[in-house]
C-alpha cells in the first residue's frame, strides 16, 4: 500500500538553509529563515523568558497532563494583550492553548469546517502554509489579491470578497505584520473591513502571529479589535513564537468569539475535541513561561522593553533601506519604511535571486521575500550594493 505514495517536492526553504550552511564565505547573508535576529545576527532567548524559566524550574511540582485545553492560565493571561481591557467581551471570547500559531490556524480552520464553512478566501501572497492547511482540512481556498503594485494593501479586493460573500464562506486575514509582504491595512481600511463584515455572512478568521513587531502591541491589535467589535462570530489564531522568541517551544492560542455567552461552551468543547484528535494536548513549557512572564510585573516590563528593542531595530532596517532607494535601479525600496514586521517582498526574478546567491552570498527565498532582520549595520551596505549589481 505504501508503494502508492509519490515523492513530494522538497521544501524550498529547507533547501535554502542547507545551501547557506554549506557556503564557506564569511560575509554571507541569510535573509531566508523567518526568525528575528539582533544586530549581531543572533536569535537569543529573551531575558524575560530566562527569568520565567528559572521560576518554572523552581516552582513546577508536576509534569502531569494538562488536557487538550492546555494551560488555561496562559490563555487567560494573554487575552488582555490581544483583545484589550474587556478581554472576554462580556463572556463571548475564550480559547485554548495550541502547539504554535500553526496549530491555532489548523484548529480555526477545522472549527470553521465543522460549523459549515466550505471555502476560506485567502489574500495572496500569504504565508505558504495557509492554503495547504485549508485544503488538507478539505475546504476550498480561493484567492484574491492582498497587495497593490505600489506597496499598499489592496483593501478593495478584500471588501469585494466580504460584500459578495455567501453562507459557508470564511476569509483569512492577517492582523498585522503581513507575512510575506509586510503590507498591512491602514486604520481607515480596517474601519471599512469591520463595517463590511458586520453585515456579511462571511466568517472572519484572523491570524495574529507578530503582535508587537509592527507599530506596537496596541496598534498591532487595533484592526482585529475593530472587527471583533462589529461581528457576532470570529476565530483568532495567535502565536507567541515571534514576540516571545519561543520558536521551538511551539506556543500558540486559539480563540473563538460568539454572539451570545451561552454559545461559548459549545464552541470550546468542539475545539477541545478537535485538539484531542489532532495533537491530544499542547506542550506545556512555553505556555507556562508566557503565563509566568505576563503575571509578574518585573518580567512583563522586561518583555515589553525587549519587544520595543526588536521593533525599533526592524524600523531602523526599513528606514535605512528606504533611504537607499535611489541607489538601486528597478528595485523599489522607499515603500519598505511604510510596512511592518519581519518580512518584505522585492520584485526580483529568479536569475537575479540566483546571482545574489552565487556572486554575493545573499540568500533569500525564490519568491523575492526577505527577512529584514537578517540585515545588520555590518552587512546592509553590502546588500544594497548587491541589489544594485543584479539590477544593473
Residue 47 known to be catalytic: no
Residue 365 known to be catalytic: no
Q: Which residues of 62-82 are buried (b: 16+ CB within 10 A; e: fewer)?
A: eeeebbbbbbbbbbbbbbebb
The whole-angstrom separation of Cα 261 and Cα 302 is: 35
Q: Which residues pair with 96 in a beta bridge?
A: 254
The whole-angstrom separation of Cα 225 and Cα 219 is: 10
Which residue of the set 104, 108, 127, 253 is catalytic?
Answer: 127
Cβ within 8 Å of residue 340, ≥6 positions away: 176, 177, 178, 182, 184, 210, 213, 214, 215, 220
DSSP-assigned letters across all residues of 188-254: HHHHHHHHHHHT-SPEEEEEE--TTSSS-HHHHHHHHHHHHHH-S-EEEEEE-TTTS--GGG-EEEE
Q: CA of 134: how far to CAs of 117, 158, 391, in Å?
A: 11, 18, 37
Which residue of the set 242, 344, 361, 386 is catalytic?
Answer: 242
Residue 279 known to be catalytic: no
The whole-angstrom separation of Cα 117 and Cα 110 is: 9
Residue 226 known to be catalytic: no
Which residue of the set 169, 207, 220, 241 is catalytic?
Answer: 207
* Residue/partner pairs of 239-242 with CB below 8 Å, 24 or more apart: 239/100, 239/101, 239/102, 239/104, 239/208, 239/209, 239/210, 240/78, 240/286, 240/287, 240/290, 241/100, 241/101, 241/209, 242/35, 242/36, 242/209, 242/210, 242/213, 242/342
Helices (H) and strands (E) in the chain, counts: 13, 11
Q: Decide: 107 and 275 in contact? Cβ < 8 Å.
A: yes
Which residue of the set 194, 209, 275, 324 is catalytic?
Answer: 209
Among residues 135, 123, 74, the alpha carbon closest in space to that of 290 is found at 74
Cβ within 8 Å of residue 272, ≥6 positions away: 67, 68, 69, 96
Helical axes 100-114 vs 130-137, angle rounded to 10°: 40
The catalytic site residues sit at 127, 207, 209, 242
Amino acid at each position: 500500500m505504501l508503494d502508492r505514495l509519490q515523492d513530494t517536492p522538497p521544501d524550498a526553504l529547507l533547501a535554502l538553509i542547507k545551501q547557506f550552511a554549506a557556503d564557506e564565505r564569511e560575509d554571507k547573508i541569510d535573509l531566508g529563515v523567518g526568525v528575528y535576529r539582533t544586530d549581531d545576527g543572533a536569535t537569543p532567548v529573551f531575558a524575560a523568558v530566562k527569568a520565567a524559566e528559572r521560576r518554572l524550574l523552581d516552582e513546577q511540582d508536576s509534569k502531569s497532563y494538562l488536557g487538550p485545553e492546555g494551560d488555561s492560565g496562559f490563555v487567560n493571561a494573554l487575552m488582555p494583550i490581544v483583545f484589550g481591557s474587556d478581554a472576554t467581551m462580556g463572556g463571548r471570547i475564550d480559547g485554548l492553548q495550541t502547539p504554535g500559531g500553526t496549530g491555532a490556524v489548523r484548529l480555526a480552520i477545522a472549527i470553521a469546517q465543522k460549523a459549515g464553512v466550505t471555502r476560506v478566501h485567502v489574500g495572496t501572497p500569504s504565508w505558504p502554509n495557509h492554503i495547504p492547511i485549508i485544503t488538507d482540512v478539505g475546504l476550498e481556498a480561493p484567492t484574491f489579491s492582498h497587495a497593490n503594485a505600489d506597496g499598499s494593501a489592496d483593501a478593495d479586493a478584500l471588501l469585494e470578497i466580504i460584500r459578495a460573500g455567501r453562507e459557508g464562506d470564511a476569509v483569512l486575514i492577517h492582523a498585522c505584520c503581513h507575512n510575506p509582504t509586510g503590507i498591512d491595512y491602514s486604520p481607515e481600511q480596517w474601519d471599512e473591513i469591520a463595517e463590511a463584515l458586520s453585515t456579511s455572512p462571511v466568517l472572519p478568521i484572523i491570524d495574529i502571529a507578530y503582535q508587537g513587531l509592527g507599530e506596537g502591541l496596541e496598534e498591532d491589535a487595533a484592526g482585529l479589535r475593530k472587527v471583533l467589535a462589529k461581528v457576532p462570530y470570529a476565530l483568532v489564531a495567535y502565536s507567541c513564537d515571534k514576540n516571545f522568541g519561543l520558536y521551538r517551544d511551539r506556543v500558540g492560542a486559539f480563540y473563538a468569539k460568539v454572539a451570545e455567552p451561552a454559545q461559548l461552551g459549545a464552541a470550546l468543547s468542539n475545539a477541545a475535541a478537535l485538539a484531542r484528535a489532532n495533537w491530544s494536548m499542547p506542550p506545556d513549557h512555553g505556555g507556562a513561561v508566557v503565563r509566568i512572564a505576563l503575571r509578574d510585573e518585573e518580567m512583563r516590563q522586561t518583555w515589553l522593553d525587549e519587544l520595543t528593542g526588536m521593533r525599533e531595530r526592524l524600523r531602523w532596517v526599513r528606514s535605512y533601506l528606504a533611504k537607499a532607494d535611489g541607489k538601486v535601479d528597478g528595485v523599489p525600496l522607499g515603500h519598505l519604511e511604510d510596512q511592518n514586521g519581519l518580512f518584505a517582498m522585492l520584485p526580483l526574478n529568479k536569475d537575479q535571486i540566483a546571482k545574489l546567491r552565487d556572486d554575493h552570498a545573499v540568500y533569500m527565498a525564490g519568491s523575492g521575500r526577505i527577512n529584514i532582520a537578517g540585515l545588520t549595520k555590518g552587512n546592509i551596505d553590502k546588500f544594497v550594493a548587491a541589489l544594485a549589481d543584479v539590477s544593473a
